[in-house]
Amino acid sequence: MRFVYCYSMRDDPDAVGEVAPKHAAYWRELGLAEYIGGPFADRSGGLISFEAPAEGPAGQLVSNDPFQRAGLINDWWLKVWMPQ
């Protein structure tokens, strides 16, 4: 299943800058099939798309995101995506 994880960041540039390298490394090092992700141009948040077997495992990946663990996410959603 293909998932999209979209999130908006808290307005705390220093904390976000400190955690951003850990966030990027976390997602890269998972080695997920078809992973693609990155920040929005204005750095207000980002979008990640990846493959996972089901919503439960996908949600666990999101829960372990360093931005989530540091409390830097304002709002987020995780959806199954069906690109054509």
Q: Which two tokens stand for residue 40?
A: 């929005």
Token pair 């995780």 in the structure block, residue: 78
Whether 60 has a pLDDT exceeding 90, the answer reads yes
Per-residue model confidence (pLDDT) at position 37: 95
Asked if 37 and 27 touch (Cβ cutoff 8 Å), the reply is: yes
36-59 mean pLDDT: 95
Mean pLDDT rounded to a whole number for the chain: 95
What's this model's pTM, rounded to 2 decimal places?
Answer: 0.91
